[in-house]
């Protein structure tokens, strides 16, 4: 099979962790007789520095021509600390989502048997956790009208959703639930927000099309508590952009490290696969960043992007082996244990494949 993949390494540790995923993808492709065609492109702060734009037209053309996009990370502290900066790396991410039609972010949360003690939560609270959060990506407050008035002393951001946007995400959530434990939770704030009432109304109207799925509706503040208290009670969660942004980061620490969780963004034109962690600029260039979330994102790319389940399972098996044998970076090594470099972990994974 010919696999045409756009490679957007981005900023900070992005290039380092993406390099390890490339090693793994190439090893899998060699083993299963696939041909991988990589095309690299700039995004984020790296693109701003090069061409003054965080998501250049040239990068968009590369993504549109690809079967899938493997993405590293975006962001740089010099923009984070300047509230008056008019061009920001994160603008490139929003622009990319909109132009590629990346409407659904898929965030799995699960535990690793060998790392369950690394979690800040007790074993009995998290054992057996296996959930997916589906976050709507191209609507809501991040894309609504915004601005200042009263000479800059009053600011506003508008949250807007259409029924069609909600139906599109909810349909994907129902379908995922059908292939899992047949439980779907719609997270909103319908006791306060009109946009949330539209979410609840729309999902309720869709229940009749998926009678086998048990549907629940919970307020976002209650879910924020239950994710800590009883995460294994959830199967598939669907929610809007802002709530999803917060809940997915909260859920990510259940596994014991943000450096372990992969994600995908399902799109109209193509799909994008990326680790959930940020650019971690403090570690950039030091060869210490954990590459496993990016490698597991590549596994999602094989399975969900190309329909190659056996290849994806091989990657996950080798990642679990690396964790069990302690072939990990310093964030997971533990006191007194050897910490491997980012590149060494990538080499080990590729060799084992």
| Catalytic residue IDs | 142, 189, 221, 245, 249
Q: How far is CA 165 from CA 12, 135, 283, in A?
A: 33, 12, 38
Query: Annotation-wise, does 163 bind a ligand?
Result: no
The answer to whether 107 is a known ligand-binding residue is: yes
Does residue 11 have a known ligand-binding role?
no
Calpha distance 38→52 (Å, rounded): 24
b (16+ CB within 10 A) / e for 177-198: beeeeebbbbbbbbeeeebbeb
Asked whether residue 249 is marked as a ligand-binding residue, the answer is: yes
Residue 151 phi, psi dihedral angles, 5° rounding: 55, 35
Residue with tokens 């995400």: 169
Q: For residues 351 and 45, give the distance between their C-alpha atoms in angstroms, rounded to a whole number.
A: 33
67 marked as part of a ligand binding site: no
Q: Using CA atoms, how far apart are residues 118 and 256, in angstroms rounded to an integer?
A: 5
Order of strands across the sheet that contains 68-73: 35-40, 2-10, 68-73, 272-275, 262-267, 102-110, 130-136, 236-239, 183-188, 214-219
Is 245 known to sit in a ligand binding site? yes
Helix (H) or strand (E) holding 102: strand 102-110
As a whole number of angstroms, the distance between CA 259 and CA 13 comes to 11
Binding annotation for Mg(2+): 221, 245, 249
Binding annotation for substrate: 97, 107, 135, 221
Binding annotation: 97, 107, 135, 221, 245, 249
């Amino acid at each position: 099979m010919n696999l045409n993949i756009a490679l957007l390494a981005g900023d900070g540790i992005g290039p380092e962790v993406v390099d390890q995923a490339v090693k793994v993808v190439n090893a899998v492709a060699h083993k299963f007789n696939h041909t991988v065609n990589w095309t690299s492109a700039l995004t984020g702060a790296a693109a701003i520095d090069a061409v003054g734009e965080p998501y250049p037209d040239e990068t968009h053309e590369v993504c549109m021509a690809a079967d899938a996009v493997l993405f590293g990370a975006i962001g740089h502290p010099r923009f984070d600390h300047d509230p008056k900066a008019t061009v920001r790396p994160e603008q490139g991410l929003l622009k990319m989502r909109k132009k590629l039609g990346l409407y659904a972010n898929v965030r799995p949360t699960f535990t690793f048997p060998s790392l369950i003690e690394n979690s800040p939560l007790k074993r009995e609270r998290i054992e057996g956790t296996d959930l997916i959060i589906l976050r709507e990506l191209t609507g809501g407050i991040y894309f609504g009208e915004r601005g200042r008035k009263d000479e800059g002393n009053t600011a506003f951001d508008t949250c807007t959703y259409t029924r069609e946007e909600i139906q599109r995400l909810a349909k994907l959530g129902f379908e995922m639930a059908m292939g899992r434990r047949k439980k779907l939770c719609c997270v909103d704030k319908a006791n306060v927000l009109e946009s949330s009432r539209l979410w609840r109304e729309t999902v309720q109207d869709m229940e009749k099309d998926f009678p086998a799925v048990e549907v629940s509706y919970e307020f976002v503040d209650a879910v924020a508590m239950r994710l800590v208290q009883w995460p294994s009670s959830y199967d598939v969660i669907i929610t809007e952009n802002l709530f999803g942004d917060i809940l997915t980061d909260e859920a990510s620490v259940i596994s014991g490290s943000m450096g372990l969780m992969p994600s995908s963004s399902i799109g109209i034109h193509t799909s994008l696969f990326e680790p959930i962690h940020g650019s971690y600029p403090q570690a950039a260039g030091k060869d210490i960043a954990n590459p496993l979330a990016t490698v597991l994102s590549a596994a999602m790319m094989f399975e969900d992007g190309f329909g190659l389940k056996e290849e994806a399972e091989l990657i996950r098996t080798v990642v679990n082996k690396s964790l069990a044998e302690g072939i990990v970076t310093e964030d997971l090594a533990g006191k007194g244990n050897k910490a491997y470099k980012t590149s060494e972990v990538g080499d080990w994974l590729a060799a084992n494949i």
